[in-house]
Structure 1
Amino acid sequence: MRFPFHKMHGCGNDFLILDYLGGEAPKFYPSEVAYLCDRHYGLGADGLVVLKESSTAHAGWYFYNSDGSPAAMCGNAARCAIRYLIDKHYPEEIPVSLETEVGIIKGRRIDMGNEVEITLFPTAIRSFEYDQKLVTAGENSFDIYSLNT
């Protein structure tokens, strides 16, 4: 498979960006994403951003972690995607919006420089359940808490 790509980084994470605005955005198999993101055999990245058309924002996306698993949101990847959209498609738009699985993110360039800030949406705090266990090792006891995220 051949396709043009861009590579961007934000706060120490780097991402492959595939631009399918104006076309049909493919979904990738986890093994394909893992291969592309592999730093020895692929292009190397912490994640893959596939930009696609959106009816509610300037663009939508599919986001994948480097192991190929899909994710609803990644803040650094969203900043890179917004920066890409500003640079390539919407230089005059303020703010630029990105539709994610968890809501619409808006972003803008700061002082016409290289930095981008995004505005996230309020989150709802839900109740959660956790397990607590007492583990003893020698003369020491430890409370261990686990939470399914």
Structure 2
Amino acid sequence: MVILTAIDRDPGCKGVVETAYDLATKMDMKLVILHVVPEDEDEEAARREIEDIVMSVIGDLEGIDLRIMPEQTRRDLPTGRTANHILQVAEELDPDYIVIGSRKRTGLGKILLGSVSKLILANADVPVVTVEQTRKAEA
């Protein structure tokens, strides 16, 4: 049994990691934490930042399957490449749940397409838990 959580490099995603870890621990499930590195970002720097975020919440990486995946340009996916990479990993892992962050949007932002969380919610084959992701890390 597996919980897949996808996070970005924003320290505001600590609540997402905490929720996924709590669920995995309480339900005795394996936790896979995924970060898709955008093409224009440094993969090693991203790994260090993601490790720091996870360690600040959990304390260590023992027992955590941490995956850092470079985003790849696909001509058949003009938008939503990150979401599609997450869904691809979900298809391979066949998790019981996906845990993702979602930022509050207002006005026009609520109806614009392209949000990773909206694409995951609309296309995942398993239940998706969304956690409000703060804009900045909480003290």
TM-score for both structures, normalised by structure 1: 0.30
Structure with greater helix percent? 2
Larger RCO of the pair (alpha carbons < 8 Å, separation 6+): 2
TM-score for both structures, normalised by structure 2: 0.32
Structure with greater strand percent? 1
